[in-house]
Structure 1
């Protein structure tokens, strides 16, 4: 049975209301206003709600842009309906990346045009939040009451390492059996895990002198370049010798990868100076078969070997490390979600591990939950100018969410 017309109108209006609040991260603008709107909406449906404020000292440790969060309080909206087991938990993040330039419309004044809704966060991922609440409303209006517990957590800071969900799970506020995260997989795709991540910087040291007498100094940029060449000679073949057995969308996704130089800068920042320091970043993606600590030690060892070969002095700093996450294909939540997509949409969904990190890792690693990502969106529009989702995507996901809830808690 198709969803009622007023629910279609509701999900669109709710999305526009949420997008209209510019919850830009960093630094975390107007989080409280958005959290209060979401809490009010859930409370009106009969959920018990909590607004959980994340302590400043916790953010000092886990927010990568600290101290930019000071003066911008962070709130988690936690809502429950029913009691006991099983616990089915929906998660969504309400923070969005900065809008950037090149927009046809004001990114925080959503525009609906030819079935599309434009605005920052429409795809990533306020659309998932709106679809979650709309599915709840649809079921409650039908008289549905869960046999077990239906939960929702709407969190800040997924776009900056996931301190919101991390705090929620680490401090024991949520320990669900099954988790659906509304990240924009699109309505035809389910993701069951993600690669891990090791991010950091290498600082190569030289000797700064005037650019007219380079022989008196030591060019840190040239040392860094030579070090990178030597490093990749040994490290790239090592990565290509490993592959994951987890399903992936792209053939190259089976391998662990490293990206160097996303950040690359000289501290001198002037063309007539021989740079005394040069910094470059690394971004190492970790497959589920690898051990995170072993990856870090191996990475440092290869950097050290390369530095010795070219006579470079250097320092390395790991900025963040997140393990991979994977929910088995035969888990109940995976089988139910797959069945609901097939039943409600008439298609067989793509099921795979994603290559980028998301908040599933905290539920899987800290709470022992089974977690998937499934949410509305248009592929390729997240984080871009003129980001948009479609009304059709929202409606399709509301249908599937309703089916998942009925099957697990009905």
Structure 2
């Protein structure tokens, strides 16, 4: 049974930690200060924390390499503050049951709630699964020195018994603001830089081949095309042209090149390679993917975490946004306190009650899961 008094004490501690994190700027690639705070926090709780770059991680006291492992992961980097802030983004102000501050909702609230849940189980003996807590960097930019780097780091692999880097029998809860609903699937991200090539000429004499017009034909294709296969949990593949620029600034010269960027949210109905093949066969442009790393992901609906959550009465959905879930090479469930609609907004906040509810929800989910697998 979950101890409500212990949850309340952990919530008080978690809110204090979140206030410290808000006071400390932690833009992506600049998270050293918050990493220091997290290491000190674990030390205060007599937990041996490890650090690699700006990633901080710890394992439960009675870690046993022969057991399956549950990774609790969230990030401590933030975007830069929205210019429409009316409050100091680095001042953790409490008003009317809300805690304001940059990163309070995305993903400070989920992070400190996961840390509290980790502490709740830290000293427990004979857990059916190990628990690993990872507070990672560079999530907001899908950087390579965040969760991806940590999961390939030698000390992490050695300590957790995964030197062969296969992560067999690992599962994860990724902390993001989902109002504690279950995101069982998540769209991948494919960003394309497309270049339409024309031929220079004098605009008055209608010479050359206008690269803008070629780009317009391609953009019209992106606007109208519908991929026929639809994902059960993620729906349709979505494509949006988000920027356009030419090489030419003169009004009287037909532009030679026109470059535009396409943001594609990929479902599990297609691979990145299949999407790319369809596009290159359909438009008369040079197409360059920026990255093929952020794949669509889904946790099996029969997974113990999903079964446990269903037993708790929770529904599930497919998330249109990407997170570090895309970079975790094993089954991962995305959930956490807070609301995704508040992320990256001016005067970001999280309700104080959401943090306590997040801690209680995480601990109950873990306890229910462990009972089902024993």
TM bucket, shorter chain: 0.7 to 0.9
SS at match of 1:320: coil
Residue 409 of structure 1: CA displacement? 5.3
**Is the 1:378–1:388 contact (alpha carbons within 8 Å) kept by the matching residues of 2?**
no
**Is the 1:3–1:399 contact (alpha carbons within 8 Å) kept by the matching residues of 2?**
no
Correspondence 1:1-400 to 2 at 5 A: 1-4=3-6, 5-25=8-28, 28-29=29-30, 31-53=31-53, 75-81=54-60, 82-84=62-64, 85-139=67-121, 144-145=124-125, 147=127, 148-163=129-144, 164-171=146-153, 173=156, 175=167, 177-187=170-180, 189-208=181-200, 213=204, 215-230=206-221, 232=223, 236-237=225-226, 239=227, 241-246=228-233, 253-260=234-241, 262-269=242-249, 271=251, 273-303=253-283, 307=284, 314-321=285-292, 322-339=294-311, 342=312, 348-363=313-328, 366=329, 369-400=330-361
What is the distance in 2 between the residues matched to 1:214 and 1:160? 46
What is the distance in 2 between the residues matched to 1:273 and 1:223? 16
What is the distance in 2 between the residues matched to 1:349 and 1:125? 21
1:21-44 residue CA offsets vs partner (Å, 9 max, x unmatched): 11113xx22x11111211221233
TM-score by length of 1: 0.78
1:356-376 residue CA offsets vs partner (Å, 9 max, x unmatched): 22222332xx3xx32101111
Which of the residues 350, 356, 362 maps onto 1:401? 362
SS at match of 1:254: coil
SS at match of 2:342: coil
Change (3 A) 1:121 1:273: farther
Residue 269 of structure 1: CA displacement? 4.4
What is the distance in 2 between the residues matched to 1:192 and 1:201? 30
**Is the 1:337–1:400 contact (alpha carbons within 8 Å) kept by the matching residues of 2?**
no
SS at match of 1:353: strand
Aligned pairs, how many?
351
RMSD: 2.4
Change (3 A) 1:136 1:285: closer
SS at match of 1:316: strand
Structure 1 stretches (4+) deviating beyond 6 angstroms? Answer: none
Residue 224 of structure 1: CA displacement? 1.0
Residue 295 of structure 1: CA displacement? 2.0
Correspondence for 1:56: none
Residue 162 of structure 1: CA displacement? 4.6
Change (3 A) 1:40 1:337: farther
Residue 216 of structure 1: CA displacement? 3.7
1:190-233 residue CA offsets vs partner (Å, 9 max, x unmatched): 1112122221111112345666x362444322221123335655
**Is the 2:223–2:239 contact (alpha carbons within 8 Å) kept by the matching residues of 1?**
no
- Structure 1's unaligned 5+ residue stretches are 54-74, 247-252, 308-313, 343-347
SS at match of 2:346: coil
**Is the 1:378–1:390 contact (alpha carbons within 8 Å) kept by the matching residues of 2?**
no
Change (3 A) 1:231 1:404: closer
What is the distance in 2 between the residues matched to 1:184 and 1:269? 44
Change (3 A) 1:114 1:393: same
TM-score by length of 2: 0.86
What is the distance in 2 between the residues matched to 1:218 and 1:225? 13
What is the distance in 1 between the residues matched to 2:102 and 2:41? 21
**Is the 2:207–2:254 contact (alpha carbons within 8 Å) kept by the matching residues of 1?**
no
Residue 294 of structure 1: CA displacement? 2.0
